[in-house]
Amino acid sequence: MVKLTGVDKKKIAVFISGTGSNLLNLIRYSKKKNSFFKINLIISNNRKARGLNYARKYKIKKKIVNYSNINIAEKNILSELKKNQIDLVCLAGFMKILSNNIIQKFKGKIINIHPSLLPKYRGLNTHKRAIDNKEKYSGCTVHYVNFKLDSGKIISQKKVRIFKNDTERKLARKILQQEHILYPKTLNKILSNL
Ligand code: GRF
């Protein structure tokens, strides 16, 4: 197996708005011998996002972007991505929708993790909707980001069984555990093919 040094690894920016548990698992995976990536930048629209603590802990550069004006916000984002020579962006609980402008400029280089088996349950409240519809399975999906919300090409998915006594919370927890495995593995696979 190829062991990459820090310099050879692809540079990743992770966008967050909250807890950042996916961010943490991407960071942990990036430190493995066989990882093809390094987390070089964390971007958050929320200065109180708990996940920002990982920037300090792991000495990763962070940037808080003020979204009161989306055009300025995205200009700042693009300039940070350029300045840090970012190769690929991972959205991980980022609660803002990226405009066509930014998606176009980073075409095919922005991925997201979504807590449902897309194309089912795009958008928010996925677990409640899956339970209310008496689905037997839900899960998580890693996909490319395109112009339509949660609609880009699917890269990988993991199914999770919904049991009769599963609450929204319980299901969210089970799915999040799978996200933590699926997201870094998928990212590494994409990069190994580049
Ligand atoms: C995850 O469920 C992810 O699928 C969704 O937002 C949540 C983020 O959780 N897009 P965390 O901030 O990574 O803990």
Tens of pLDDT, residues 39-94? 999 999 999 999 999 999 999 999 999 999 999 999 999 999 999 999 999 999 99
Nearest-atom index, ligand 1, CA of 23: 13
Residue 76 Cα to ligand 1 midpoint, Å, equals: 23
Residue 4 burial by Cβ neighbours in a 10 Å radius (0-12, 13-18, 19+): middle
DSSP state of 97: P
How confident is the model at residue 1, as a pLDDT? 47
Ligand 1: which of 17, 98, 113 to mutate, judged by most atoms within 8 Å of the beta carbon?
113
pTM: 0.96
Structure tokens at 109: 């280089």
Distance CA 43, CA 57 (A): 15
For the annotated catalytic residues, the residue numbers are 114
Closest ligand 1 atom to residue 179 Cα is 4
